[in-house]
């Protein structure tokens, strides 16, 4: 018998089981690794004595496909996977993606659109009275009424559309065990109205609940949706959040406050459960699961993020309180990596949503929670911010000393304004000397302070200050290392004028981005609320939103204005922006008035782009869309009941 949880009836019987306590339906293939949400939740339940059977990627057209183990004793768990199924399937242009990194061999089409909803209804075709508990990133971010970009409509809570009993939202280790224990004790799903980190339905809302506008009102009035969203946004902290209730006709969907964060010891235990650390062997013939490649030799050192980027769903999913594992736990896992026959001496990452967040932003958070009406870093760092990187630096030094480890990389993304807030330069020095392989990936996102304000990002002057310090330290160390910046087009607040401003910055610095992300309105982010309502929910003031696909294409083309196939769009954009002066052969122009006979071979590798500094850059391929879930501020980390959110490098729970 292998060490994986059963995926077939035969594997269940080989364990001596006649049934499972929970049948776990997931949109991903089964990978038993702590970067995959369903693996974490199933192992946590196993550690508490529950029998879990995995049903990965069932045929949603056939109800028999979810009946692998028969009727589960306590209930069904349902997750769309480590990513929202719609983001997994479609680009921002709503074109079908060619590959699914969470499916054997990368094959697309093994899960349905809106997977959580489809799986929930599939269960109800077969079992009307078995508890159904939703979780993971897709359910977590759709737990109340939400804007759905792909249908361009306001959708109901997924709890109702999936015909489920409960949602375990956010980081689900606490709530899923509490649900299991309550069901084991004989309570019915309708009795489970008191569990933190859950959403349930009822005919009568609790007296202490904050009543949100009804779904019908939200459909009529986008201002009501902006106000409702902001109430939700201010109630994501486990210490201060109120219960929220949203009415649908004669039914209320009630969101209980989030579950409390895990302690260091509890988080260590979660990551040291008996994971097999690879995909189920049944996938070997198909070539395995591509998404495992980036995380197999990486270490998740923390969860949660107080960065507060408007386009990121982490506030709604993981929360703003950073929780970190102990050095001892991470060192034990690193030593495990060195024993893998495929390990070549390189730890690919040590981080989380943001690599250099290793503790709460201030001391009060673990007792009183985060501030409801101000961010830790935006618009400027809070005076109470603890910006010390000493713990992270000490951890990295210990990891480098492990026999068999040649290099430790940092790929999760560094929050540069937080690094600057630390008066000690030890972290940036260590980063340059030991943890960058020639290029440091950063996400300034834009250079227009107007756009950056709506993004919840620091002003461009902060980014320039980091570049100067980074260049100065590298010169002192005798190293030639550059910054690879990621930029986003068409974010709310960005018009053609702001896009031209970014293009001129790129020209002045000689920076040639090889990847550009057009803003992707995913559920439950501030930016998506702006996109849908045309309002900044923080102030209720109007904000410019670009929705026209052609004008969005012009913004994106301006970032890669050097590409010959973008020149027609760039010229059109410049004329519409009133900047025809930038069309010509002069040194300040972006594009020539007519195509040149000699064409460039694609964009060059971007560099740090410090003021007035043009550095040699290597050639690279043509324009690509950066997958939103691969960004540090992407989906949030996982796809499990209450599990983490994810990008391919580290599925976000």
The backbone torsions φ and ψ at residue 357, rounded to the nearest 5 degrees and listed phi first, read -100, 110
pLDDT of residue 629: 41
Rounded distance, CA 533 to CA 230, Å?
A: 12
Instruction: Identify the CATH class of 9-261.
Output: alpha beta
Among candidates 559, 379, 506, which has minimal Cα distance to 454? 379
pLDDT of residue 438: 86
The pLDDT confidence band at residue 359, using thresholds 50, 70 and 90, is very high
Residues 6+ apart with CB under 8 A from 334: 299, 347, 399, 402, 405
Query: Per-residue pLDDT for 647 more than 50?
Result: no
Please write the tens of the pLDDT for every residue from 250-265. Answer: 999 999 999 999 999 9
pLDDT of residue 634: 36
Rounded distance, CA 123 to CA 121, Å?
A: 5
pLDDT of residue 597: 58
Query: Per-residue pLDDT for 442 more than 80?
Result: yes
Query: Per-residue pLDDT for 640 more than 80?
Result: no
What would the mean pLDDT of 285-307 be, rounded to a whole number? Answer: 96
Among candidates 73, 70, 195, 61, which has minimal Cα distance to 118? 61
Helix ranges, 245-307 (H): 264-271, 292-295
The backbone torsions φ and ψ at residue 40, rounded to the nearest 5 degrees and listed phi first, read -65, -50
C-alpha distances in Å from residue 621, one per residue of 53, 602, 604: 44, 6, 8
Among candidates 102, 5, 109, which has minimal Cα distance to 54? 5
Please write the tens of the pLDDT for every residue from 123-167. Answer: 999 999 999 999 999 999 999 999 999 999 999 999 999 999 999
Residues above pLDDT 90, as percent of the chain: 87
265: tokens are 């010891």
Asked which of 448-457, 510-519, 628-637 is least confident by mean pLDDT, the reply is: 628-637
Residues 6+ apart with CB under 8 A from 620: 514, 602, 603, 604, 605
What would the mean pLDDT of 41-70 be, rounded to a whole number? Answer: 97
Rounded distance, CA 308 to CA 457, Å?
A: 8
Rounded distance, CA 351 to CA 301, Å?
A: 5
Query: Per-residue pLDDT for 585 more than 80?
Result: yes
Residues above pLDDT 70, as percent of the chain: 91
Contact in structure between 406 and 343 (CB atoms under 8 Å): no
Please write the tens of the pLDDT for every residue from 563-580. Answer: 999 999 999 999 999 999
Please write the tens of the pLDDT for every residue from 592-624. Answer: 998 765 554 444 444 544 444 444 333 333 334
Query: Per-residue pLDDT for 406 more than 50?
Result: yes
Buried b (16+ CB within 10 A) or exposed e, 425-452: bebbbbbbeebbeeebbbbbbbbbebbb
Please write the tens of the pLDDT for every residue from 514-529. Answer: 778 999 999 999 999 9
pLDDT of residue 368: 86
Query: Per-residue pLDDT for 627 more than 80?
Result: no
What would the mean pLDDT of 442-456 be, rounded to a whole number? Answer: 97
Query: Per-residue pLDDT for 650 more than 50?
Result: no
DSSP sequence for 563-610: SGGGHHHHHHHHHHTT-GGGBSSSTT-SB-SS--SS---SPBPP----
The pLDDT confidence band at residue 367, using thresholds 50, 70 and 90, is confident
pTM of this prediction?
A: 0.90
pLDDT of residue 594: 83
Query: Per-residue pLDDT for 626 more than 70?
Result: no
Give residue limits of the domains in the chain: 9-261
pLDDT of residue 622: 35
Query: Per-residue pLDDT for 635 more than 50?
Result: no
Residues 6+ apart with CB under 8 A from 314: 304, 305, 307, 320, 353, 633, 636, 637, 645, 652
């Amino acid at each position: 018998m292998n060490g994986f949880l059963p995926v077939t009836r035969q594997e269940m019987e080989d364990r001596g089981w006649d049934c499972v306590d929970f049948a776990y339906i997931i949109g991903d293939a089964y990978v038993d690794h702590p970067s995959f949400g369903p693996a974490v939740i199933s192992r946590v339940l196993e550690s508490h004595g529950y029998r879990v059977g995995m049903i990965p990627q069932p045929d949603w057209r056939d109800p028999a496909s979810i009946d692998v183990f028969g009727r589960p004793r306590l209930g069904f768990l349902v997750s769309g996977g480590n990513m929202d199924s719609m983001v997994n399937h479609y680009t921002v242009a709503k074109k079908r993606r060619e590959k699914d990194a969470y499916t054997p061999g990368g094959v697309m089409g093994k899960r349905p659109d809106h997977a959580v909803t489809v799986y929930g209804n599939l269960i109800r075709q077969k079992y009307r009275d078995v508890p159904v508990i939703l979780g993971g990133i897709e359910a977590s971010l759709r737990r109340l009424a939400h804007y759905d970009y792909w249908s361009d409509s306001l959708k109901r809570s997924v709890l109702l559309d999936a015909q489920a009993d409960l949602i375990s939202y956010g980081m689900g280790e606490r709530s899923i065990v509490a649900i299991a224990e309550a069901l084991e004790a004989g309570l019915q799903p309708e009795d489970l109205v008191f569990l933190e980190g859950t959403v349930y339905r009822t005919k009568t809302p609790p007296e202490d609940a904050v009543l949100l506008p009804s779904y019908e009102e939200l459909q009529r009035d986008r201002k009501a949706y902006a106000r409702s969203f902001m109430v939700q946004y201010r109630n994501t902290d486990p210490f201060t959040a109120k219960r929220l209730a949203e009415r649908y006709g004669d039914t209320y969907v009630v969101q209980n406050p989030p579950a409390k964060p895990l302690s260091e010891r509890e988080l260590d235990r979660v990551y040291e459960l008996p994971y097999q650390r690879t995909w189920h062997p049944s996938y070997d013939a198909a070539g395995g699961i591509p998404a495992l490649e980036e995380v197999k030799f990486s270490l998740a050192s923390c969860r949660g993020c107080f960065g507060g980027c408007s386009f990121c769903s982490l506030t709604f999913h993981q929360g703003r309180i950073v929780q970190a594992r102990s050095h001892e736990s991470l060192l034990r896992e690193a030593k495990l990596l060195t024993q893998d026959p495929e390990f070549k001496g390189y730890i690919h990452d040590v981080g989380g949503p943001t690599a250099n967040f290793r503790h709460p932003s201030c001391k009060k958070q673990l007792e009183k929670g985060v501030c409801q009406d101000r961010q830790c870093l935006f618009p400027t760092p809070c005076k109470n911010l603890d910006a010390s990187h000493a713990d992270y630096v000490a951890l990295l030094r210990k990891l480098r000393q492990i026999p068999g480890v040649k290099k430790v990389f940092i790929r999760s993304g560094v929050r540069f304004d937080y690094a600057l807030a630390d008066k000690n330069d030890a972290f940036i020095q260590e980063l340059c000397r030991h943890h960058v392989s020639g290029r440091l990936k950063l996400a300034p996102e834009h250079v227009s302070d107007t756009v950056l304000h709506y993004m919840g990002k620091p002003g461009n002057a902060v980014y320039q200050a980091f570049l100067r310090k980074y260049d100065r330290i590298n010169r002192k160390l005798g190293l030639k290392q550059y910054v690879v910046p990621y930029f986003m087009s068409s974010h709310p607040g960005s018009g053609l004028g702001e896009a031209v401003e970014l293009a001129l910055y790129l020209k002045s610095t000689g920076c040639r981005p090889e990847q550009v992300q057009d803003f992707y309105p995913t559920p439950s982010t501030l930016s998506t609320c702006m996109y849908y309502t045309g309002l900044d929910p923080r102030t209720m003031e109007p904000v410019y939103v670009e929705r026209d696909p052609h004008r969005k294409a012009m913004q994106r083309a301006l970032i890669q204005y050097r590409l010959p196939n973008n020149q027609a769009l760039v010229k059109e954009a410049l004329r519409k922006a009133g900047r025809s002066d930038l069309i010509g052969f002069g040194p300040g122009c972006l594009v020539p008035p007519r195509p040149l006979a000699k064409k460039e071979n694609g964009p060059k590798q971007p560099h740090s782009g410090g003021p007035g500094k043009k550095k040699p850059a290597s050639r690279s391929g043509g324009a690509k869309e950066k997958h939103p879930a691969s960004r540090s501020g992407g989906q949030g980390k996982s796809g499990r009941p209450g599990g983490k959110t994810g990008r391919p490098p580290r599925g976000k729970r």
